[in-house]
């Protein structure tokens, strides 16, 4: 049974930092591309970052480059998203996903993930 458990969201002031974690189980972690995407109220989901052993790290959105860092610990089946210099426009529910990386990509990250977690809310106050 595939599970992706995301955590680490919260309320932070603009300029603050958060570290999201996603623990995966039920599949071979190394075989999948892992990633984070977010959905703000009333908006479509958008990819934030993805990572795989084969392709490294990818950041499809210029707005997070230099501020967000995705990493993974294969021994712990965990993917992280370090978010610095947060802005109010980063406010969204953040989801982690796992994908076989065969399907459609947007900016290099999967358009839709094969598996996704329940999401964790990030709120950045101005």
Closest CA to 40 of 111, 95, 81: 95
Q: Is the pLDDT of residue 101 over 90?
A: no
Interval 51-55 mean pLDDT:
94
Q: Is the pLDDT of residue 103 over 90?
A: no
- What would the pLDDT profile of 11-30 be if each residue is shown by its tens digit? 999 999 999 999 999 999 99
Rounded CA-CA distance 77/13 in Å is 30
Q: State the DSSP string of 28-80.
A: -GGGSEEEEEEE-TTS--EEEEEEETTTEEE---TTTTTTEEEEEEGGGTEEE
Instruction: Give the three-state DSSP class for 89.
Output: helix
- Give the chain's mean pLDDT: 96
Rounded CA-CA distance 121/11 in Å is 8
* Sign of the torsion formed by the C-alpha atoms of 68, 74, 23 and 119: positive
Rounded CA-CA distance 83/100 in Å is 25
- What would the pLDDT profile of 82-97 be if each residue is shown by its tens digit? 999 999 999 999 999 9
């Amino acid at each position: 049974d595939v599970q992706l458990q995301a955590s680490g969201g919260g309320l932070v002031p603009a300029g603050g930092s958060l570290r999201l974690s996603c623990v995966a189980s039920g599949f071979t972690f190394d075989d999948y591309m892992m990633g984070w995407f977010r959905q703000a109220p009333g908006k479509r989901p958008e990819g934030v970052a993805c990572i795989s052993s084969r392709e490294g790290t990818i950041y499809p959105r210029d707005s997070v480059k230099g501020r967000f860092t995705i990493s993974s610990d294969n021994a712990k089946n965990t993917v992280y998203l370090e978010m610095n210099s947060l802005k109010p426009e980063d406010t969204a529910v953040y989801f982690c996903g796992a994908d076989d990386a065969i399907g459609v990509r947007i900016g290099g990250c999967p358009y839709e993930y094969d598996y996704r977690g329940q999401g964790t809310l990030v709120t950045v106050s101005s």
